[in-house]
Every structure is written in structure tokens, then in C-alpha cells.
Structure 1
Amino acid sequence: MRTVNVDEVIGRARVNRFHWFLIICCTFMIMCDGYDLFMYGTIVPSLMKDWGISPVVAGSLNSYALVGMMIGALALGPAADRWGRKNVIVISCAVFCVFTGLAGFAGGPTAFAVLRFIAGLGLGGIMPNTVALVTEYAPASVRSTLVAVMFSGHPFGGVVASLIGMWLVPTAGWQAVLWIGAIPLLVLPLFVWWVPDSLQFYSQKQRTDKLAAVLARVSGETYDAQDSYVLTRPVERGFPVIRLFGEGRGVSTVLFWVSFFMCLLTMYGLTTWLPKLMQTAGFAVASSLGSLLALNVGAIVGAVVGSRIADWVGAKPVLVVSFLIAAASLVAMSQRPSIGLLYVLLFVAGATTTGTQITSNAYVSQYYPTEMRSTGIGWALGVGRLGGILGPTVGGLLVAGHLSLTADFLAFALPSVVSAVAMALVQQRYAVWRQHSSHPAV
């Protein structure tokens, strides 16, 4: 019998077929979140027209789903650290798909809000657990990059939502956009069959047969169920949320929450109201929906490029600079540029808001030890969802107030500056890679 250090095997592994299949499966799950986020922006003008609701009411309808996401992230992140990330992801996806599809049959704002809230509960459990799962299995040298590649499914889901909205809303109505949200149910069995659970979870359950099989897939080497498997950090007991503030990480935990709150306020506010703001500024409907497309394409490029640079030079400076560029691009958009320059600025804004948030997710997931990783990213996203809840309402107030385009975009630029300051103050000396590894993960 030999002793196998699980973390060392994972850290030194080369990216192979196992990693890419894991990325593909988790990327598809993340697309659900991206589709949901940007889908509402494509249907909100139709909802306002069909139900005769005000911009403030329309903004609050999206906030119900975001409240559900917040509760789901806060509850299901810690739950996954105890009961398995894979199990929580599967249940979360099923809940989201069923209730998103049912929302397409809602006959009014009240039923719509209730169904969207329940769908949000499921959706809130997907993001923190897919991030934690990919982070756990990714080799150390490309960890941020692989998480970002997986997370590019979020803006890609937005691209899909934008294209579907441009195609289906005029021909089949807003309901069809929601019905398509139930399609991931068809591929859920593939995820159940192929994706392994957390190595930490297998270790807790003393499933050495599972550990041997998964490590063989990760490394291409042979392992036996009779081997002794150890992780760098032992499983700790106690309420995991409280432990986010232990070992000197308390200040950085709060700073992560502030940054996520501000970034998601901008993301959800823009994606909900950008088409309406563009129409108010005099752009055609097609151009207005195309603005979401430019935003999402930029997010995909920004996520992959930004995270690759983060693997080279460290995530912290990349995040700070990107958030400042986001603020500058939003201020530039307020000056009513030409349509061509507007799309360029939207591309940059997408790269440095949604794209930078993706890099932030990878950064935060690596800051905490494995046994509290889902809790760390789950609570950062959960608190961040409070900003996401506020964003659509802020946008609704801006539209209802008939303010200038300059005021509208400045309102979304300021939070990016706050995010930059928060990330600049993060104390990296307390990150887990500084305490337990000679190789900085970011």
C-alpha cells in the first residue's frame, strides 16, 4: 500500500480529455445562468406591453429571480461542501429548468414572479458549485484559465439568449424564450453519468475506489483502492461560513463581497435595461438587441484573455485594471458615440464587467481551502446577488425618471470603480496558495 497526495496529483497533471469533458459539462450548466440573465432583457419590452406594467414593476419582476438566486447560492454552496457538489448541481439544474419552462405559461406578473423566484433558487446552486468543482480538478498552472474557459459559458448563454430573443420574440412571443430554458433537462443524464463529485467529498465518505478511479482519469496513472489517500488540508468541522473569516481571511472576504455586489449591480442593471436604453436613445429595436450581443461577445473574450493573463502575472492587478477600464468605457458610452464606436465600447464593457467577474470567480474560488471553496464562492455570489437584485430596479428607476443617457451610464460606471478599489485592498498573504503551496495559483 502506498500513500497518495491527492492535491499533488491534481496540481501536476497535464490537461487531458478528462479535463475537457469536465469543462464542457460544467460550461453547459453555466450557460443556464447566462441564458437566464440575458434572456429577461430581451423579453422585458414585450412584458411591459402585454401586461401594461411600468418600468419599475418590470425591473422588480426580474429581481424576484435574483432573490431566489441569492438564497440558492447562500444555502446550496455550504450544502454542497457537506453533501457533494455534483448532487447539488443536478438538483439545482432540474429545478431551474422546470420552473423556467413553467414561467412561459404565466398569465400575469404575480404568477410569473413566483415561478421565477423558484427557478432562481435552483439557478443559485449551479454557479458556485461548478466553479468549485472545476477549480478542484484543474492543474495548478492553468487553474484560472480553465475556470474562465468554463465560465465563458455564462456570456455565451447570453449570446444564445440575444439571438433567440431577436428571432423568437417577434415571431413566437416572449413565452417561447422561456420554454427554451427547459431544454437542459434533456442532457442532465449525461452530466449524472460522466461528471465525478468532489475529491474532498469522496475523501469524507472514505470512497477510496472512487478516488482511485478519478485520479487515474485525471493523471493517466494507475491507482488502487487499497492505497492511502491524503489531502493537503484535513476536513475541518464547524459552520463553514464562520470559517471564511478565520486565518486572517475576514477582511478579504468582506472585500470580495463588496466587489461582487458592485459588479453584479452593473451587470444585471445593464443586461436588463440596455435594449430599452438604446431604444430610448433612438436606436432601432434590432440594434438595441444587438447591443446585448456585443456585450456578451466581449465578455467571452475578456474572460478567457483576462484569466490567461491572470495565470501569468496574478489575478489581482488584472482585476483592478479591468474594473477601471469598465468604468471608462461606460462613461464613454454616455457621450452618444456613433453606432460603430458604440458597439466597440459595448464589447470592451462586456469584457471588463462580465468578463472580469468571471476572472473574479476563479480568483475567489482559489483563495479559500478546498473544504470551504463552495461556501466561499457561494457566499460571494450570494451577497453579490443583492447587487444584482438592486441593478434592474435602479435601471427601472432611471428609465422611469427619463434622465439623460449620460446620467444612466454614469450610474452604472461608479460601481466598477468601487469594485476596483475593493480588489486592490484584498490581502493575498492569507490566500490558501500562499499558506500551503509554493506555486501561486493566480
Structure 2
Amino acid sequence: MTSTAPPQAPRPHTFRTVFPVLGLCWLAVFFDGMDVNIYGAVMPHMLDDPGLGLTPATAGTIGSWTTFGMLIGALAAGNLTDWLGRRPLLVTSVVLFSAGSALCAAAGSPALFGGGRFLAGLGLGGLMPLCLAMVMEFAPPRRVALTTGLLMTSYHAGGMTATALGLTVAPSAGWRWVFWAGVLPALIAVPLLLKFLPESPGVLFARGQGERAAAVSDRFGLPRPTPVEAPAAGAKGRFDAVLALFRPGTRWATPLLWLASFCGLLLVYGVSTWLPQLMRASGYGLTSSVSFLLVINAGGIVGMLIAGRTADRFGAVKVAAIWFVLTAAGALLLKSHLPLGVTYAVVALTGIWLFSAQVMVYAATNSVYGSAERAAGLGWVTGVGRTGAVLGPWLGGAVMTAGNESLGFTAFALAGVIGAVAIALVPLASRIGTRGTARGPQARMDNAV
């Protein structure tokens, strides 16, 4: 396991060294965002298609199937990545959601369409924690939040692309062609990932490939992994990584991170799935209603850049808590039928806070968990959070079926408040957990506050 690579002058570990990994993961998450948002972008057209037989209640249920698949994918990826490797699982994730999109495009019934969305969800759920773990590992320690924010701009660029397809392709060629566009990731991203994406040095070291681990570390300016930092191999290692989430210093912070992620993903997927239809039910036209999805994702890109820089300076926990509160305020404002220009402004501002609040929850995990359990920690934070993603689309469908769209905005606001309280309590939970123990976890937590 000990590295035998010859000593060489290490490359400086700067923000520039993470660019190759960030760029490839950016591309993968771009297609993730496009696939997630395609459903909401074309839902008004699908509901108007008598040949498919989709109802608002069924549409909400199918949205929950997607996110249930994402829950399974996130948990599986977080626990298998240190065994099978991050690059193979990331490629598999892209192939799965591309295949799911193809099945949706060809589906002739809601049941078959739902099966395609579940399959896509498996891949979508696995991809996000893998990409986050990769960029966190390769990023300079003081630039983790910024790097995470830059990565997540791709999700919203993909969401804007999906909305543009919904506005241009769906009305003229039909909603099925928008889903056929979701096959592109398998053709574009997979070859690039296989050729250029490096494997995690920590994973390579844990698998006994010390020379390769040292070579990758030196190439990207990373410290060479040590037995303490590397994830333990085998089934016992994966089980130990999960147990580490509940050891002193993390045992109380872990469920709070799960709750914050639950609220954040309820907001992200509830709004992404139902915003056009909620706004349409509030009296806005079809084109304007779909355009709101474009605007909120544009706000999301700006928010990622603001949140990343701000969190590196003031701490991811503080930024996430404030952003959740601002998201709740935006959701309450959208309950009112405001003038169109004012509504666009509120939607854009809400997008700035909404999506980056969730991403800063992910960034906070970097300070709560050490290197050996980071992938498992991220996998469980995203995986358990997916229960919120399951609930969000279902909740939107139930509200629309009941004909009370304002209740949906109230529920989203409540989720923002609960998320703010949960993430704000993480530092206190870490202090309680580390009383009488080593100060390592708490020292990391102090940097995140």
C-alpha cells in the first residue's frame, strides 16, 4: 500500500490545478441539470397531450418516482464509490440517465414513462455526490465552497437549456424530441470522462495502487494520500465509513445535515417540477409560466457564484442558513399575483437563494467529515435528502389536484425555514459531540461557521 513512486517536485496546489476535474464534472452535472429540468419544462405540453393520458396527480407521482430513483442512486454511489472507483460509477450514472431519457421519449403510457424517469433517477442520484466528492478532493482547501459553487452553475445552465428546449422544440416538434435530447450525455460526456477524468488518489491508495495514487496526486498538486486519509477497502471499510458519520463530533451534526438536505431538495425538485404549472394556475400565460423556469435557473447560476465566494469568507453554514430564510421570503412573495415584471424579478432573486442554499449544505459537509468518510457522508446527505426530493414533486401534484396553488408556495416557504434552523444548529451539534474528545472535527467545523 505504501507509495513507491520516485520523489519529484510536487506541483503547486492552486485553484488552477482543479480545472481539468472541475471542467469534466461540470459537463456531467450540466447534463444532470438538463435531464432533471426537462420534465418540468415540458409538463404543460405533456398534460395537454391526450395520447399520453397524463393527469396532474399522475405527473406528481412520476416526479416522485424520479426522485425515489435518485435516492437509491445517491445512497448506492456514496457507499460503492470507494470500492468500485469514482470514475466507473460516474460513467455508469451518465449512461443510466441517458437510457432513461430514451425510454421516456419512446413511452406510450404514463407507466412506461414513469419507468424511464425512475431509471434516469438512478443515474441522476449517483452522479451528484460523485462529482461533489471529486471536486472537493481536488480543490484547494480554502477554495472548496467556491469550487462547489462553480460546479453547480452547470446544473442551472443545464436547467436553462432544458427550458429553452421546452420553449422552442416542444411546441413545434413535440415533447418527445426534448427527451431524445437527453440521450446526448451518453454520446458526448461518456467518452470524455473515460479518457480524461482521473481516479481519486484516496480510492487508488485504498485499493493498493500506491504508485498510481502518488502519480495522480503529484500531477494535480495534491498531498499524497496516507492510510489515515484513505477510505478503508472492502465491505468492512464501507460499513466503517457509515459508522463514522455517528462518531463523536458528527453524531448530532449528521441528522441535522440530513434534515437541511431534505428541506433543500424538497425545494429544488418541488420548484423545478411544478413552478411553470403553479404560475400558470396563478393566471400567467403558458409561455411566461415556462419562462419562469428559465429565469429561476439563471438566478441559480448567479447565486452559486455569490454563495461560493461568500462561504469561503464567512463559512458555508452561515450562508446556507441565510439563503434558506431568503428562499422562504421569496416563496411567500410568489403567492401574490404581482405585475409580470415584478414577478420575474422575484423569481430571479428566489433562484439566487434557493439552489445555492442546498449546495452550501453540501459544502458544509467538507468541514464536518474527514477525508476517509467524505464520500460516504456526501452520499448519505444527498441520499437521505432525496426523500425531500421525492416529497416535493408529489406535494406539488397534490396541491394542483386540490386547486390551491398558494398552499404550494406556503409549503415551500416552511421548508426554507426548517432548513435554515437545521443547518444553523450544525456548529452547536458539533461542539456538543466533541466535548471530551479530540478537537479535529471541531477544528474543521470552526472553519465552516
How does the TM-score come out when normalised to structure 2?
0.90
Whether 2:194 is the aligned partner of 1:192: answer yes
Residues 143 and 441 of structure 1: CA distance in aligned 2, closer, same or farther (over 3 Å): farther
Deviation at 1:306, TM superposition (A): 0.7
Deviation at 1:203, TM superposition (A): 0.9
Q: Is the 8 A contact 1:294 1:346 kept in 2?
A: yes
Residues 440 and 334 of structure 1: CA distance in aligned 2, closer, same or farther (over 3 Å): same
Deviation at 1:377, TM superposition (A): 1.1
Q: Counterpart of 2:226?
A: 230
Q: Counterpart of 1:214?
A: 216
- Distance in structure 1 (CA, Å) of the matches to 2:334 and 2:322: 19
- Distance in structure 1 (CA, Å) of the matches to 2:97 and 2:360: 25
Q: Which amino acid aligns with 1:191?
A: L
- Distance in structure 1 (CA, Å) of the matches to 2:402 and 2:445: 54
Deviation at 1:232, TM superposition (A): 5.2
Deviation at 1:26, TM superposition (A): 0.1
Q: Is the 8 A contact 2:129 2:382 kept in 1?
A: yes
Q: Counterpart of 1:119?
A: 120
SS of corresponding position for 1:244: helix
Deviations 1:13-58 (A, max 9, x none): 1122x42121111011112221122111112122222223321111
Q: Counterpart of 1:416?
A: 416
Deviations 1:54-109 (A, max 9, x none): 21111111211111111011112110022211111011111111221222000111
List alignment gaps of at least 5 residues for structure 1: none
Q: Counterpart of 2:389?
A: 388
Q: Which amino acid aligns with 1:30?
A: V
- Match runs of 1:269-284 below 5 Å: 269-284=270-285
Residues 19 and 305 of structure 1: CA distance in aligned 2, closer, same or farther (over 3 Å): same
Whether 2:345 is the aligned partner of 1:344: answer yes
Residues 234 and 49 of structure 1: CA distance in aligned 2, closer, same or farther (over 3 Å): closer
Deviation at 1:438, TM superposition (A): 11
Deviation at 1:195, TM superposition (A): 1.0
Q: Is the 8 A contact 2:13 2:221 kept in 1?
A: yes
Deviations 1:207-231 (A, max 9, x none): 23323322232139xx9xxxx8636
- Distance in structure 1 (CA, Å) of the matches to 2:445 and 2:292: 44
Q: Is the 8 A contact 1:135 1:366 kept in 2?
A: no
Q: Which amino acid aligns with 2:414?
A: L
- Once structures 1 and 2 are overlaid, which stretch shifts more, 409-418 or 199-208? 199-208
- Distance in structure 2 (CA, Å) of the matches to 1:292 and 1:34: 12
SS of corresponding position for 1:440: helix
- Distance in structure 2 (CA, Å) of the matches to 1:61 and 1:150: 28
Q: Is the 8 A contact 1:365 1:374 kept in 2?
A: no
How does the TM-score come out when normalised to structure 1?
0.91
Q: Which amino acid aligns with 1:218?
A: F
Q: Counterpart of 1:440?
A: 447
- Distance in structure 1 (CA, Å) of the matches to 2:96 and 2:231: 30
- Once structures 1 and 2 are overlaid, which stretch shifts more, 189-198 or 368-377? 368-377
- Once structures 1 and 2 are overlaid, which stretch shifts more, 208-217 or 266-275? 208-217
- Distance in structure 2 (CA, Å) of the matches to 1:439 and 1:67: 34
Deviation at 1:371, TM superposition (A): 2.0
- Distance in structure 2 (CA, Å) of the matches to 1:274 and 1:214: 43
Residues 244 and 109 of structure 1: CA distance in aligned 2, closer, same or farther (over 3 Å): same
- Distance in structure 1 (CA, Å) of the matches to 2:312 and 2:141: 9
- Distance in structure 1 (CA, Å) of the matches to 2:358 and 2:345: 19
Q: Is the 8 A contact 1:366 1:433 kept in 2?
A: no
Residues 229 and 397 of structure 1: CA distance in aligned 2, closer, same or farther (over 3 Å): closer
- Once structures 1 and 2 are overlaid, which stretch shifts more, 204-213 or 368-377? 204-213
Q: Is the 8 A contact 1:263 1:416 kept in 2?
A: yes
Deviation at 1:249, TM superposition (A): 0.7
Residues 161 and 235 of structure 1: CA distance in aligned 2, closer, same or farther (over 3 Å): closer
- Distance in structure 2 (CA, Å) of the matches to 1:365 and 1:262: 19
SS of corresponding position for 1:230: coil
Q: Counterpart of 1:27?
A: 26
Q: Is the 8 A contact 1:64 1:117 kept in 2?
A: yes
- Match runs of 1:366-381 below 5 Å: 366-381=367-382
SS of corresponding position for 1:125: helix
Q: Is the 8 A contact 1:144 1:441 kept in 2?
A: no
Residues 399 and 439 of structure 1: CA distance in aligned 2, closer, same or farther (over 3 Å): closer
- Distance in structure 2 (CA, Å) of the matches to 1:438 and 1:272: 34
Whether 2:46 is the aligned partner of 1:44: answer no
- Distance in structure 1 (CA, Å) of the matches to 2:366 and 2:75: 15
Give the number of aligned pairs: 430
Q: Is the 8 A contact 2:30 2:157 kept in 1?
A: yes
Q: Which amino acid aligns with 2:406?
A: T
Deviations 1:216-256 (A, max 9, x none): 32139xx9xxxx86365354435022221113312111011
- Once structures 1 and 2 are overlaid, which stretch shifts more, 204-213 or 306-315? 204-213
Deviation at 1:185, TM superposition (A): 1.3
Residues 180 and 438 of structure 1: CA distance in aligned 2, closer, same or farther (over 3 Å): closer
Q: Counterpart of 1:201?
A: 203
Residues 19 and 335 of structure 1: CA distance in aligned 2, closer, same or farther (over 3 Å): same
Residues 21 and 235 of structure 1: CA distance in aligned 2, closer, same or farther (over 3 Å): closer
Residues 437 and 338 of structure 1: CA distance in aligned 2, closer, same or farther (over 3 Å): closer
Q: Counterpart of 2:150?
A: 149
- Distance in structure 2 (CA, Å) of the matches to 1:433 and 1:306: 26
Q: Counterpart of 2:257?
A: 256
Deviation at 1:436, TM superposition (A): 6.9
Q: Counterpart of 2:81?
A: 80
